[in-house]
Structure 1
Amino acid sequence: MKIVMSWLREVVPALPPAKAVADALIRAGFEVEAVEPVGHDLAGVVVGEVLSIELVQAKKKNVRWVRVRVAETGTREVICGAFNFAVGDRVAVALPGAVLPGGFTITARKTYGHLSEGMICSASELGIGDDHSGILVLPPDTPVGTDVAGLLELADDVLDIAVTPDRGYGLSIRGIAREAATAFGLPFDDPAGAASEQAASEQAGAGQVGAGQGAAGYPVVVEDTAACGRYVARVVTGVRPDAATPLRLARRLALSGMRPISVPVDVTNLIMLGLGQPLHAFDRAKLSGPIVVRRAREGERLVTLDGVKRELDPEDLVIADDSGPVALAGVMGGAGEFG
């Protein structure tokens, strides 16, 4: 389990540095395998506004000659091979002398017949994720000249903890935060407390949700009650599956070892990692019939969110609808939903 220190400090703000937290967790019986500093070496990357773009044609591939404003009166001209941004966009500009993750230093250099005074960065080049298909486009109201490392909170530390089966609660920020707070005698404000109170209030007004259908629920049939004592389903409306997950949360997921996919998937994964409660989002329009919790049938297959086509075993517990399995229960969802 990878525990992101900035996330842990949202629950227990007064925690000491990561190494001290790791030592305290080891004394409490946890196997902390590593303390990984990330993003601390990033420097010299600022927010720039794209002022103009000129196409530069070349034999192997075309590129763009881009003029960006990086301060109130300062501009830079940069060669960029990406085409996913336009005039007026806010982008991350690594100025000459900037250092990117991995110790890669940016210099001004002559290329494609122009002097390129830096680099416009992709998410992967900033260590935010693995997307290198285009450069990172920031929200339009992001202030020009702002330090990107500070803006996106890129400097962090990650605790790599091998959680033993008898301490399953350690597979969440909530569980580790409680242990850390106890170790240092700090207050622990349970993040699940407020959520539980709100859920109880809503459920009291909505009726029973789960096996059956409440006013805000979705029909559920639990066939294997020995493997699943309770399954709760709730309908959420007004979701924009094409919206972008905020960069800070996408990075939080990436540092936790999970690939950001889409808003519905990312939100459920953040809740799962934060509170330790497995859950999954389905596109109601793609479900056929009720949700059924059952064992897999002979010969059934499921393509999961990681793109792997899995042959299911009759011992596997699945979440299914009338069309067949749509998720591997408690493990991973199917790629046919929001993937």
Structure 2
Amino acid sequence: MRVPLSWLREYVDLPATETGRDVQAKLISAGLEVETVEQLGADLKGPLVVGQVATIEELTEFKKPIRFCTVDVGQAGGTSQAFGTGGGTGEPQEIVCGARNFAVGDKVVVALPGAVLPGDFQIAERKTYGKMSRGMICSSDELNMGDDGTKGIIVLPPETEVGKDAVELLELVDEVLDIAVTPDRGYCLSLRGVARETATAYGLPLRDPALIDVPGPNAYGYPVRISDPTGCDRFTARTVTGLSAEARSPIWLQRRLQKVGMRPISLAVDVTNYVMTELGQPLHAYDRGLVQGTIGVRRAEEGEKLTTLDGVERTLGAEDLVITDDRGPIGLAGVMGGANTEIADHDDTENATADVVIEAAHFDAVSIARTARRHKLSSEASRRFERGVDPQ
């Protein structure tokens, strides 16, 4: 379990002077196996700012596509808290770039001359492809941000302010504790569980993110029939309607998922992954338009087929617990959903999902563990269910 220190501080008022190493020592003394503390952004130096692409000139005389861009960076670097006085002039920066996934008007991350990126990659003015390049337009790989689902330039939301400190915006500086969670500490596969241990170790109060008022059953419920109460003793389903095809998860949420090792996919899927990471309760989102009839929970019939979200067609056994609709299986309970009700990712606006059904259920730990091993399919959900998830 990867635990960003900045996120952990939301639940426990740790002293400002406490470092990731200090927290590591406390948690080890409490019996947790904290293997490493990763220092994100430790070798990053600015100025690194938000820019807006003003012009793009395609340079066609080279073997590979090259673009000569001008980028408005505002008064970049002038008052950066992260880096002190920088070198921003207010003039558009001329930058040579080989990436193709951005257009005029897009907001991007710009490393200006004097910046140093991870791996001691120093940014300076230099002549390349016959043009003077005064900076670099950055990808997530170059900033060591983790997998964002693309291999190109970071394109920021259109409302992002030009000239803003990108290190602060993208929360590039942080410490991440990597905890090897033993089978008897399954609750530590969540920020909530680790925060509880941290609060106890420091003798501080815990702000429990689960202590919220949950709305009671309403008209947005979705019909469910449980045929195997031993395998599934509770199952809640609720419909969320009117999701915008253009809506993206906010940057802070995407960055938290990246820091714990997950890839942002789409608004609905990102939210379910965020809640699972925060509270330890796996959720699943179905495309409402692809679910036919009542959702059911039962044991599979020997030889039934299901294509899971990883694109693999699986032959089911009679011990497998499955989620169904009127057609048959639509998910391997507590392990992985089916491709036939999949939420489209955020780049697939043509098939974007406007209405989703959110599942929150409690499954038998032994059943989930056996299914995950039988199909050689370990998932974030199954890791939690087989170690025991709080049914409340």
The 1:88–1:242 alpha-carbon spacing in structure 2 relative to 1, beyond 3 Å, is: closer
The 1:332–1:97 alpha-carbon spacing in structure 2 relative to 1, beyond 3 Å, is: farther
Q: Does 1:167 align with 2:185?
A: yes
Once the 2 structures are TM-superposed, how far is the Cα of residue 53 of structure 1 from its aligned partner? 1.4
Partner in structure 1 of residue 114 of structure 2: 97
Once the 2 structures are TM-superposed, how far is the Cα of residue 280 of structure 1 from its aligned partner? 0.8
Contact kept, 8 Å, 2:141 with 2:151, in 1: the verdict is no
Partner in structure 2 of residue 55 of structure 1: 58
Once the 2 structures are TM-superposed, how far is the Cα of residue 67 of structure 1 from its aligned partner? 0.7
Q: Does 1:238 align with 2:242?
A: yes
Partner in structure 1 of residue 102 of structure 2: 85
Partner in structure 2 of residue 138 of structure 1: 156
Spell out, residue by residue over 1:70-119, the C-alpha distance to the aligned partner (whole angstroms, 9 max, x if none).
23323221111223323332210112232223332233332221122221
* CA distance in 2: counterparts of 1:114 and 1:305, whole angstroms: 46
Return the match for 1:338 from 334, 338, 343: 343
Q: Does 1:292 align with 2:296?
A: yes
Q: Does 1:203 align with 2:216?
A: yes
User: What are the equivalent positions in structure 2 for 1:186-265 lying under 5 Å apart?
Assistant: 186-194=204-212, 197=213, 199=214, 202-203=215-216, 206=218, 215-265=219-269
Gaps of 5+ in 1: 207-214
The 1:87–1:23 alpha-carbon spacing in structure 2 relative to 1, beyond 3 Å, is: same
Q: Does 1:42 align with 2:39?
A: no
Aligned AA (2:179): I
Q: SS of the counterpart of 1:78? A: strand
Partner in structure 2 of residue 271 of structure 1: 275
Q: SS of the counterpart of 2:167? A: helix
Once the 2 structures are TM-superposed, how far is the Cα of residue 23 of structure 1 from its aligned partner? 1.2
Identity of aligned residues (%): 58
* CA distance in 1: counterparts of 2:22 and 2:160, whole angstroms: 35
* CA distance in 1: counterparts of 2:190 and 2:41, whole angstroms: 23
Partner in structure 2 of residue 74 of structure 1: 91
* CA distance in 2: counterparts of 1:58 and 1:325, whole angstroms: 55
Partner in structure 2 of residue 8 of structure 1: 8
* CA distance in 2: counterparts of 1:278 and 1:231, whole angstroms: 12
Once the 2 structures are TM-superposed, how far is the Cα of residue 223 of structure 1 from its aligned partner? 1.6
* CA distance in 2: counterparts of 1:272 and 1:245, whole angstroms: 16
Number of aligned residue pairs: give it.
Answer: 325
The 1:333–1:13 alpha-carbon spacing in structure 2 relative to 1, beyond 3 Å, is: farther
* CA distance in 2: counterparts of 1:303 and 1:111, whole angstroms: 49
Partner in structure 2 of residue 27 of structure 1: 29
- Which range moves more in the overlay, 225-234 or 135-144? 135-144
TM-score (norm: length of structure 2): 0.77
* CA distance in 2: counterparts of 1:245 and 1:320, whole angstroms: 29
Q: CA RMSD in A?
A: 2.0
Q: SS of the counterpart of 2:142? A: helix
The 1:163–1:42 alpha-carbon spacing in structure 2 relative to 1, beyond 3 Å, is: same
Once the 2 structures are TM-superposed, how far is the Cα of residue 292 of structure 1 from its aligned partner? 1.3
Q: Does 1:129 align with 2:146?
A: yes
Spell out, residue by residue over 1:250-300, the C-alpha distance to the aligned partner (whole angstroms, 9 max, x if none).
121122122211111110110011011111111111101211112233334
Aligned AA (1:220): V
Q: SS of the counterpart of 1:82? A: coil
- Which range moves more in the overlay, 142-151 or 298-307? 298-307
Return the match for 1:176 from 194, 200, 204: 194
The 1:82–1:300 alpha-carbon spacing in structure 2 relative to 1, beyond 3 Å, is: farther
Once the 2 structures are TM-superposed, how far is the Cα of residue 241 of structure 1 from its aligned partner? 4.9
* CA distance in 2: counterparts of 1:2 and 1:330, whole angstroms: 21
* CA distance in 2: counterparts of 1:319 and 1:241, whole angstroms: 26
- Which range moves more in the overlay, 38-47 or 225-234? 38-47
Aligned AA (2:255): R
* CA distance in 1: counterparts of 2:305 and 2:265, whole angstroms: 22
Contact kept, 8 Å, 2:296 with 2:324, in 1: the verdict is yes
Q: SS of the counterpart of 1:11? A: coil
Gaps of 5+ in 2: 76-89, 345-392
